[in-house]
Chain A
Amino acid sequence: MATRKIITRTSRAAEAAREFTFSRELIPGLSEDGRAPEFLRAYRQRAWEAYQALPMPTTSDEAWRRTDIRGLRLGEFRLPQPDAYLELPGAPASLLHPVADEEQAGQIVLLPGGKTEAWLDAELARRGVVFSDLATAERQHPEVVERILGQIVRPEEGKFAAMAAAFASYGAVVYVPRGVQVEKPLQSILWAPGASLAYFSHLLIWLEEGASLTFAHESASPTEPGEQTLHAGIVEIHVGAGANLRFVELQSWGEHVWNFTHERARVERDGTLDWIFGALGTHLTKNFSDLDLTGQGASGRMSGFYFTAGDQHLDLDTQQNHLAPHTTSDLLYKGALRDSSRSVWQGMIYVAPGAQKTDGYQANRNLTLSNKARADSIPGLEILADDVRCTHGATVGKIDPELVFYLLSRGIPRDAAERLVVEGFFDPIMQRIPFEGVRTRFQDAIQKKMG
Chain B
Amino acid sequence: MSDLTIKNLHVNVEGKEILKGVDLVLTQGEVHALMGPNGTGKSTLAYALMGHPNYEVTEGEAWFKGQNILELEPDERSRLGIFLAFQYPVAIPGVSVANFLRSAINARRKAENPDDKGIPIPEFRKMLRERMDLLRMDHSFAGRYLNEGFSGGEKKRAEILQMAALRPEIAILDETDSGLDIDALRIVSEGVNALRGPDLGVLVITHYQRILNYIKPDVVHIMLGGRIVETGGADLALHLEEHGYDWLREKHETVSA
A positions within 8 Å CB-CB of B:
400-403, 405-414, 416-417, 420-421, 423-428
Contact = CB atoms under 8 A, between A and B. Distances in A.
6 contacts: A407-B104, A410-B107, A411-B107, A412-B75, A420-B103, A425-B94
Interface residues of B, number: 29
B41 interface: no
Contacts of A408: 51, 73-75, 78
B145 A424 contact: yes
A423 B145 CA distance: 12
Contacts of A402: 90
Contacts of B51: 408-409
Contact of A428 (B74, B79, B94): B94
B52 interface: yes
A410 B166 contact: yes
Given A409-B51, A411-B111, 19 more contacts: A401-B53, A406-B90, A407-B92, A408-B51, A408-B73, A408-B74, A410-B75, A410-B78, A410-B107, A410-B166, A411-B108, A412-B103, A414-B73, A414-B75, A416-B103, A417-B75, A420-B95, A421-B95, A426-B94
Chain A contact residues, majority secondary structure: helix
A407 B73 CA distance: 12
B141 interface: no
A271 B163 CA distance: 50
Interface in B73-87: 73-75, 77-79, 83-84, 86
A421 B145 CA distance: 12
B162 interface: yes
Contacts of A426: 94
A413 B107 contact: yes
Contacts of A413: 75, 107
A424 B92 CA distance: 7
Contacts of A401: 53
B53 A423 contact: no
Interface string B97-108: 001100110011
A162 to B, nearest CB: 41
A406 B107 contact: no
Contacts of B162: 410
Given A406-B92, A428-B94, A412 B52 contact: no
A427 to B, nearest CB: 3
Contacts of B39: none
A416 B162 CA distance: 18
B50 interface: yes
A43 B111 CA distance: 62
B244 interface: no
B89 interface: yes
B93 interface: yes
A364 to B, nearest CB: 16
Contact of A420 (B50, B74, B100): B100
A416 B111 CA distance: 12
B93 A424 contact: yes
B144 to A, nearest CB: 12
A410 B104 contact: yes
Given A409-B50, A412-B103, A421 B74 contact: no
Nearest to B89: A406
A74 B179 CA distance: 65
Interface in B100-145: 100, 103-104, 107-108, 111, 145
B94 A406 contact: no
Interface in B193-218: none
Interface hub of B79, B93, B111 (most chain A Cβ within 10 A): B93
A209 B94 CA distance: 38
Interface in B34-84: 50-53, 73-75, 77-79, 83-84
A420 B98 CA distance: 13
Given A402-B90, A416-B103, A411 B73 contact: no
B94 A424 contact: yes
A446 to B, nearest CB: 12
A90 to B, nearest CB: 30
Nearest to A411: B78
